[in-house]
């Protein structure tokens, strides 16, 4: 078994375990006082640290945050089957590699559709085989209602779905 890091040892010690149990049993004022004392100790330590120590602390903190992010990413990608049915609002899905699809910076040479970087050719117009006529301009007053150039545009755009039902 590989040797545990010092930080890991402290997390699993009997003292740390006892402290965790005490924390679950403490009342709200006790918790507030403990956190206030903890913050005071932290700020005293930070006042005494040199700029090099501060830099090291911030670097370690950033590495720890990155490790945490990577852990979440790995957890998501390892278990992403039917993920839409198990949505967890605590997870930042945007950080998952399979969710990041890049930017829409590719333009189809046949139909001028904007496409994602990895989108295959032919997905929009079957490589020029499908050619739709341009949309016609809507008649008045629909055009003014749609383009917010009519006094009732706000009402129209808010309730437009009622007009189609």
Of 91 and 111, the one with the shorter C-beta distance to Zn ion is 111
Q: Cα(149)–Cα(146) distance, rounded to whole angstroms?
A: 8
Of 72 and 124, the one with the shorter C-beta distance to Zn ion is 124
Closest contact distance (angstroms) between CB of 135 and Zn ion is 16
Q: For residues 66, 83, 99 and 128, what is the CA-based torsion angle, rounded to 10 degrees?
A: 170
Binding mask of the shown chain, residues 88 to 127, with x at each position contacting Zn ion by CB under 5 A:
--------------------x-xx-x----------xx--
Sign of torsion over alpha carbons 84, 87, 89, 94: negative
Binding mask of the shown chain, residues 20 to 39, with x at each position contacting Zn ion by CB under 5 A:
--------------------
Contact status, residue 122 vs residue 137, Cβ threshold 8 Å: no
Which positions touch Zn ion (CB under 5 A)? 108, 110-111, 113, 124-125
């Amino acid at each position: 078994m590989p040797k545990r890091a010092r930080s890991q040892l402290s997390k699993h010690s009997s003292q740390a375990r006892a402290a965790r149990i005490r924390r679950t049993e403490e009342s709200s004022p006790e918790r507030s006082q403990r956190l206030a004392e903890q913050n005071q100790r932290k700020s005293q330590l930070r006042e005494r640290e040199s700029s090099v120590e501060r830099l090291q602390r911030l670097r370690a903190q950033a590495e720890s945050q990155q490790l945490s992010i990577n852990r979440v990413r790995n957890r998501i990608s390892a278990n992403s089957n039917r993920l839409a049915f198990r949505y967890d609002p605590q997870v930042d899905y945007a950080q998952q590699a399979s969710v990041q699809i890049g930017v829409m910076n590719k333009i189809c040479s046949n139909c001028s559709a904007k496409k994602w970087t990895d989108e295959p050719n032919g997905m929009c117009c079957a490589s020029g085989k499908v050619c739709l006529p341009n949309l016609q301009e809507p008649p008045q007053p629909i055009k003014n209602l749609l383009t917010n150039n009519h006094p009732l545009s706000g009402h129209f755009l808010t309730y437009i779905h009622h007009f189609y039902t």
